[in-house]
Every structure is written in structure tokens, then in C-alpha cells.
Chain A
């Protein structure tokens, strides 16, 4: 037992612990002042802003879509929702790079929708809407994958009881369905947020990666490494890692609370 435990600890330390430590270590390599300077680098600040905006736009959209799609799939199943259930999972199965390529084919000015939209002066590719689209696609299933099993497990008894007690559909949703799935929803929301902030491949294809314009934080980190600008790169990486760690800890607190509730 002891040997196994040691092996596991060493494995995790080598794969995650040490590299993670080194990221933070390198971010502090030039001292606090260096870090402060790096954090205020105008190009990185612009990238952070863009990532923040994308996250603020995409997360609510995907949460709304995820809740709606889950309700449709579980509560009013049809041939149509069976397909929806399968299609939602496509982004999990294909590489983000392929997602980027697919979007480019559809939305570039030569693409299917892109040419029509360009006629109205709307540019999707190589601007923020393209990045938002790509982020939305790669994080599409994360909310519904959390909610669907919960809705199935809970069943329709509570909702039908509310109806017999006189509650309207909207009231039932707000007072019964939504509170029942709140932890699963929170979990799905955090997963979506983490995925949107951290996406690289799909965003790289559709954004054009222009500094100050279409460069997200992940792309900025990538560029800094390519240009042998390690302190800047490590600072960005540390920032992203910190965000993820905070999200992860929050997720686990939620998971634990939900676990306690589900035991009964």
C-alpha cells in the first residue's frame, strides 16, 4: 500500500505539481517588481480584457442554451431532441482545431453564412464574434451534461405535484425545477467558464491572433513563448492557472455539498 501511495504521489508531482510550481516560480523570477511590470504589459492587459468579454458573452448564452436543451431532451423527448442530444456532444468528440476550421468554412467572407453577413457589414472571422462563436462551440455540452442526468434522476414528480397544487409552468420552473438543479447548474457554469477562458486551438484558427485586437490571454501566452519572452509568458500562464485553481476549488466545494444532498 505504502509503495503504491508513493508512486501515485511521485507521478502527480512530476506531471502536475512541479510544473505548476515552476510556472509560479518563473512568474516571480524578476521579483515582485518584474511581475507587476509584466501584469501591466498593455498587450497582455488587452488580451485579458478580450478574454473577459468573451467569457461574459459566451457563458450566459451557453447556460441558457444548456438549460433549455436539457429540458427539451429530458422533459419533452422527440426524434428532434434525440438528434440534439447527439449533436451537442460533437464538440467533445472532435479536436478544437477542427471546430475552428468548421467555423471558418461557414463564417469566413467566402463561407456559407459569412458572405451573406459580410454583405450587411458584419465580420465574424478574425474579430471578436468569431472568437465568441468558437468558444461557445467548444463549451457547448458542459452545462447540459451536468443537468441532464440530474433531471432524469429527479423525475417529473415534483413538477407535476406543483401543477396539482395550482402552480403555472413558469412558477413551477422558478420555484421547483431551477432550485432542484442549482448545484448542477453552478457546476456546469464553472466548467463552461473555465473552458472558455482556457481555449486555445479553436480560437487560434478563427481569431487571426492580432495583438490588441483579436488576441486572447491564451494566445498572448503562446506568443510570448514563441518570442522568447518567458517572464511575460509565465505571468500570463500563472494568472490563468490561478483562475483555474480558484474555479477548481469552488467546483469541489459545490461537488461536496451536492454529494451530501444526494446521499439521502
Chain B
């Protein structure tokens, strides 16, 4: 019951961005607050941090009601999207900041900073300034700076959004491993559902200021609570009046209930997308693997039969 959010609402003037949010996040877990932009996920993260005040509701961290405790006394680690490095300080001074504030003896600071820099692989860059670092290095510095104070909870706001694709996937894995190693309760905000599913143990899907579903990536993908969640976590198409995943349908020349005409075949590397039109004019699409498409070789204009895959 590490972090508990109880009845949290938030408005900016006339517009309400969060409606009665309730959630419980386990100690040591990695939770992703995921949703499209404007869903209120960043606001919720900032409320947990104490960077944003909220009208009503309570926030508990490790059983402690922190609702009225100012940000600097909450003992949280927070990383901003742009990592907000202290520009005028070296990497070592950036990382040492929280310990200096806590008046830790100078000798201990030196030891702890060098241990932490080693952990994040920046020991060789201790005397560099932030502008001399790459994006990935800056992110690791920001993480080191947040982690060195041994926070109760680590909060990451869109931690990978500012990075190149290659660096991004490397760092996702790295952050996930580091989190597992330290066992620190972590909440990250992301608009990218694949990132959320890859990194987090638990997803909190937000839309329009309300929680849509809480659960593990598998639960949410396999049993979405509503059409929004289903849509958000991956593509859907409508078959027999029901929203389904395009890869849960199969195409055949002979077996199948519903006739459909092939309108278009689009190859996307390993996946092949087949656009179809039903007799009543409704459109749907089916996702085939490269091998399936090769075996079937659908021709534009021909009639095929659509059915649900029995094994999915």
C-alpha cells in the first residue's frame, strides 16, 4: 500500500482536469500513468510530488498522509521531462545537491556521489558540465541526483520523450533494471502505451481526468475495461458489431462466416494490413503476418471469408 491516492480532484479555474481519482500503488512496483495528452496524468504526478496543490482528496506515501506536507519535506525523487540539470554545476555537484541540502558531512557526500556516479555509469564525467553531456547521459545524471537522497518514491515525467529512438529503448531497459535492483517505488508518466507496457508492472490508464483501468499490462491488453482503453492500447477494427484487434481475425478463401472484398493490401515489414469491405458497405481491416500473407496472397478485388481466430 505504498502510495495511496484518495479522491483526488483538480481544477484550473473553470476547467476540471482530474475527477475523483483513487488508486493504490504497491511498494517497490513500477507504475505507468498512461494516457493521451490532456488526460491529467502529468498533473496527477505533480500532485503526488507536491508540486501542485489540489482542492480535496488525500495523498499517502508509505502510510504517511503527505497531503499538507510541502514538496521539500516529502522525500521524493522527481525527474522532469527535460531533466532540468543545474546548468552552472558539474555532474558531481548536481548529484551532490540533495545531500548538501541535508547537511551530510562532506566526506560522506564524496563517497556517496562517487558510488552513485559509478552505478549510473557517469564516473568518468563527474567534472563535466550538463551542456557537455548527451541526452541519455543527462537523464542518467538526473536519475542519480534524484536517487541519491534515497527517496520513498521516484517520479518520472515523460522520462524518454526527449531522447532519440535508439537511446530511448536502451534507457528504458536500463531504467527498468535499475528500478528492479533498487526496489524503489516508481511512477512514470508517458503518453506512449508501448513504452508503458514494456517498462511497468502496473498501468493506470487515464482519460479526460478519470482513471479508465488499473492493472498489469497483460490484463489491460487482454481484457480492456472499455472501448477507450482498447483503442488506446492498440489498433481495433469492428467485426460483427464488436470492436476487435485486427490480428485476432483470420482470412481464408473457403472457411469463414462473413464475405468481404479486398480493397487494399499494405505491407508494413513483418505485418501486412488487408483493408476489406463487407457486403453492407462497412469497412474493416485484418492484420496478417508476413508468412500468412504470403500463403494466402490476397488479390485486390477478390472475395475472402473473415472469421475470428479460434486460438486467440
Q: Is the interface of A mostly helix, strand, loop or mixed?
A: helix
Q: How far is the CA of A154 from the CA of B85 in the complex (A)?
A: 10
Q: Which residues of B contact A250 (CB under 8 A)?
A: none
Identity of the chain B residue whose Cβ is nearest the Cβ of A154 in the assembled complex: B87
Q: Which of B17-25, B73-81, B207-215, B275-283 faces chain A?
A: B73-81
Identity of the chain B residue whose Cβ is nearest the Cβ of A157 in the assembled complex: B84
B42-75 CB mask vs A (1 if < 8 Å, else 0) is 0000000101000000000000000000111111
Asked if A160 meets B51 with Cβ closer than 8 Å, knowing A168-B72, A264-B132, the reply is: yes
Q: How far is the CA of A161 from the CA of B74 in the complex (A)?
A: 13
Pick the residue among B77, B84, B101 that contacts A158 (CB under 8 A).
B84
B101 touches A171 (CB 8 A): yes
Pick the residue among B71, B88, B102 that contacts A164 (CB under 8 A).
B71
Q: Which residues of A contact B284 (CB under 8 A)?
A: none
Asked if A165 meets B101 with Cβ closer than 8 Å, knowing A158-B84, A160-B80, the reply is: yes
A-B contact pairs, 22 of them (CB 8 A): A154-B87, A157-B82, A157-B84, A160-B51, A160-B71, A161-B78, A161-B145, A162-B86, A162-B101, A163-B70, A164-B51, A164-B72, A164-B78, A164-B146, A165-B145, A166-B73, A166-B101, A166-B102, A167-B72, A167-B101, A175-B97, A180-B87
Pick the residue among B49, B73, B80, B98 that contacts A157 (CB under 8 A).
B80
Find residues 60-117 in chain A having any chain B CB closer than 8 Å to their own CB: none
Tell me, yes or no, whether A261 is within 8 Å of chain B by CB.
Answer: yes
A261 touches B131 (CB 8 A): yes
A163 touches B87 (CB 8 A): no
Tell me, yes or no, whether A149 is within 8 Å of chain B by CB.
Answer: no
Chain B residues bordering chain A, tally (CB within 8 A): 29
Tell me, yes or no, whether A42 is within 8 Å of chain B by CB.
Answer: no
Q: Which residues of A contact B184 (CB under 8 A)?
A: none
Q: How far is the CA of A50 from the CA of B103 in the complex (A)?
A: 47
A-B contact count (CB 8 A): 67
Contact surface of B with A, Cβ cutoff 8 Å: 49, 51, 70-78, 80, 82-88, 97-98, 101-102, 131-132, 142, 145-146, 149
Tell me, yes or no, whether A176 is within 8 Å of chain B by CB.
Answer: yes
Contacts A162-B101, A168-B72 known; list 19 others, CB within 8 Å: A155-B84, A157-B82, A157-B84, A158-B84, A158-B86, A161-B142, A164-B49, A164-B71, A164-B72, A164-B146, A165-B72, A165-B101, A165-B145, A165-B146, A166-B73, A166-B98, A166-B102, A167-B72, A264-B131
A121-160 CB mask vs B (1 if < 8 Å, else 0) is 0000000000000000000000000000000001101101
A162 touches B97 (CB 8 A): yes
Which size bracket describes the interface of A in this complex? 20 to 34
How far, in Å, is B282 (CB) from chain A's closest CB?
49
How far, in Å, is B12 (CB) from chain A's closest CB?
14
Q: Which residues of B contact A19 (CB under 8 A)?
A: none
A163 touches B82 (CB 8 A): no
Q: Which of A165, A166, A175, A261 has the most CB of B within 10 A?
A: A165
Identity of the chain A residue whose Cβ is nearest the Cβ of B79 in the assembled complex: A161
Tell me, yes or no, whether A179 is within 8 Å of chain B by CB.
Answer: yes
Q: How far is the CA of A163 from the CA of B74 in the complex (A)?
A: 10
Q: Which residues of B contact A168 (CB under 8 A)?
A: 72
Q: How far is the CA of A171 from the CA of B97 in the complex (A)?
A: 11
A161 touches B80 (CB 8 A): yes
The 3 closest A-B pairs by CB, nearest first: A157-B84, A264-B131, A165-B98
A11-43 CB mask vs B (1 if < 8 Å, else 0) is 000000000000000000000000000000000
Identity of the chain B residue whose Cβ is nearest the Cβ of A172 in the assembled complex: B72
Q: Which residues of B contact A160 (CB under 8 A)?
A: 51, 71, 78, 80, 84
Q: How far is the CA of A261 from the CA of B89 in the complex (A)?
A: 12
How far, in Å, is A6 (CB) from chain B's closest CB?
40
Identity of the chain A residue whose Cβ is nearest the Cβ of B130 in the assembled complex: A264
Q: Which residues of B contact A175 (CB under 8 A)?
A: 97
Q: How far is the CA of A211 from the CA of B72 in the complex (A)?
A: 58
Q: Which residues of B contact A167 (CB under 8 A)?
A: 72, 97, 101
Q: How far is the CA of A164 from the CA of B149 in the complex (A)?
A: 10
Q: How far is the CA of A124 from the CA of B151 in the complex (A)?
A: 57
Pick the residue among B73, B84, B131 that contacts A161 (CB under 8 A).
B84
Q: How far is the CA of A182 from the CA of B87 in the complex (A)?
A: 12
Q: Which of A162, A163, A168, A175 has the most CB of B within 10 A?
A: A163
Q: Which residues of A contact B86 (CB under 8 A)?
A: 158, 161-162, 176
Q: How far is the CA of A158 from the CA of B74 in the complex (A)?
A: 18
Q: How far is the CA of A182 from the CA of B149 in the complex (A)?
A: 28
B87 touches A261 (CB 8 A): yes
Q: Which residues of A contact B51 (CB under 8 A)?
A: 160, 163-164
Q: Which residues of A contact B97 (CB under 8 A)?
A: 162, 165, 167, 175
